[in-house]
């Protein structure tokens, strides 16, 4: 069984523990664009172009702001996460599937830990986790930077060869694969890349399959 050796289950947050159709991240992106407009005195269109380029080139918009403009991460993160969480709804079936997993359950997000707590509360997934690691715990280095994983996994103390990582972004699974984690791409479409070991178009159904296999 592919997961019978797993003792730590690592979950991304955004668009992994809630559906990508939920209108949460569009709110964050809009606030990012507004922040860039104010901070750099550029147009909305230019701010959105920069946001997308920084995500592509640096892993997150924040990383681009920090590396190219020396931005202070704390006020940026506080502002962009000031959003409406009521667009999320509790998912008792997903909660039950996560609870039933044997071993430790961990969150690792490019958002902050306080933001993660609010998302988890809105999804009815709070109180399940042995650790919640935000980007602040990676020294504001984002996934997919190798240094970010090393800091967070070192902080957590997990054994990479006995851990599985669930992510909606296939590129964020390359380093975990190289470190020895089992990788699960949580997304509607399969990513045809060697570093993705498993595809989960439906996370709850996938976890139920693991449990049914006797892991």
Q: What is the pLDDT of residues 3-36, one digit of tens each?
A: 999 999 999 999 999 999 999 989 999 999 999 9
Q: Say if 33 falls within a structural domain.
A: yes
If one compares 55 and 169, the residue with the highest pLDDT of the two is 169
CATH of residue 45: 1.10.150
Please write down the long-range contacts of 127-133, taking CB distance under 8 Å and 24 or more positions apart: 128/95, 128/98, 128/99, 129/105, 130/104, 130/105, 130/106, 131/104, 131/106, 131/107, 131/156, 132/106, 132/107, 133/106, 133/107, 133/108, 133/109
Q: Per residue in 152-162, is it b (16+ CB within 10 Å) or e — as a string?
A: bbeebebebee
Length, in residues, of the chain = 215
Q: Residue 41, SS3?
A: coil
Give pTM, 2 decimals.
0.91
Q: Which region holds residue 199: left if phi is over 0, alpha if psi is between -120 and 50, else beta?
A: beta
Number of domains the chain contains? 2
| Structural contact between residues 139 and 151, judged by C-beta atoms closer than 8 angstroms | yes
**Residue 1, pLDDT score:** 61
Same-domain check for residues 39 and 99: no
Please tell me the number of Cα atoms within 13 Å of 173 on its side-chain side. Answer: 28
Q: What is the mean pLDDT of residues 192-209?
A: 97
CATH of residue 132: 3.40.50.1000
pLDDT tens string 32-80: 999 999 989 999 999 999 999 998 898 889 888 888 999 899 999 999 9
**Residue that is written with structure tokens 């980007």 in the block:** 135
Strand-pairing partners, residue 131, are 106
Question: What percent of the chain is predicted at pLDDT more than 90?
Answer: 89
Q: Which domain holds residue 44?
A: 25-80
Same-domain check for residues 95 and 134: yes
Same-domain check for residues 99 and 171: yes
Q: Say if 148 falls within a structural domain.
A: yes
Closest CA to 136 of 166, 117, 101, 109: 109
Mean pLDDT (the chain, rounded): 95
Question: What percent of the chain is predicted at pLDDT more than 70?
Answer: 99
Same-domain check for residues 112 and 199: yes
Same-domain check for residues 109 and 198: yes
Same-domain check for residues 96 and 200: yes
Same-domain check for residues 205 and 133: yes
**Residue 215, pLDDT score:** 67
Q: Residue 10, SS3?
A: strand
Same-domain check for residues 68 and 96: no
Rounded distance between C-alpha atoms, residue 66 and residue 210, angstroms: 40
Q: What is the mean pLDDT of residues 131-146?
A: 95
Same-domain check for residues 99 and 60: no
Closest CA to 163 of 146, 177, 174, 151: 177
Helical H segments across the chain, by residue range: 25-40, 44-58, 61-69, 73-80, 92-100, 113-123, 146-156, 174-179, 203-212
Q: Say if 85 falls within a structural domain.
A: no
Q: Would the pLDDT of 132 be above 80?
A: yes
Same-domain check for residues 180 and 116: yes
Same-domain check for residues 103 and 143: yes
**Residue that is written with structure tokens 């079936």 in the block:** 93
Q: What is the mean pLDDT of residues 109-114?
A: 96
Q: Say if 32 falls within a structural domain.
A: yes
Q: Say if 193 falls within a structural domain.
A: yes
Same-domain check for residues 112 and 187: yes
């Amino acid at each position: 069984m592919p997961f019978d050796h797993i003792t730590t289950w690592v979950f991304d947050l955004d668009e992994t523990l809630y559906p990508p159709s939920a209108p949460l991240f569009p709110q964050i992106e809009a606030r990012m664009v507004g922040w860039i407009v104010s901070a750099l005195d550029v147009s909305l269109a230019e701010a959105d172009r920069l946001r997308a380029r920084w995500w592509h080139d640096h892993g997150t918009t924040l990383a681009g702001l920090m590396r190219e403009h020396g931005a202070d991460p704390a006020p940026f993160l506080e502002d962009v996460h000031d959003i409406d969480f009521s667009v999320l709804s509790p998912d008792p079936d997903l909660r039950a599937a996560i609870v039933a997993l044997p071993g430790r359950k961990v969150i690792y997000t490019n958002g902050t830990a306080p933001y993660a707590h609010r998302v988890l509360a809105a999804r009815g997934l709070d109180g399940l986790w042995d650790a919640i690691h935000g980007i602040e715990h990676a020294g504001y280095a984002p996934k997919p930077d190798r240094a970010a994983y090393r800091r967070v996994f070192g902080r957590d103390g997990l054994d990479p060869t006995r851990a599985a990582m669930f992510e909606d972004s296939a590129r964020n699974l390359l380093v975990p694969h190289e470190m020895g984690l089992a990788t699960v791409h949580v997304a509607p479409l399969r990513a045809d890349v060697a570093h993705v070991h498993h595809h989960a178009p439906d996370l709850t159904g996938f976890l139920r399959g693991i449990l049914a296999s006797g892991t």
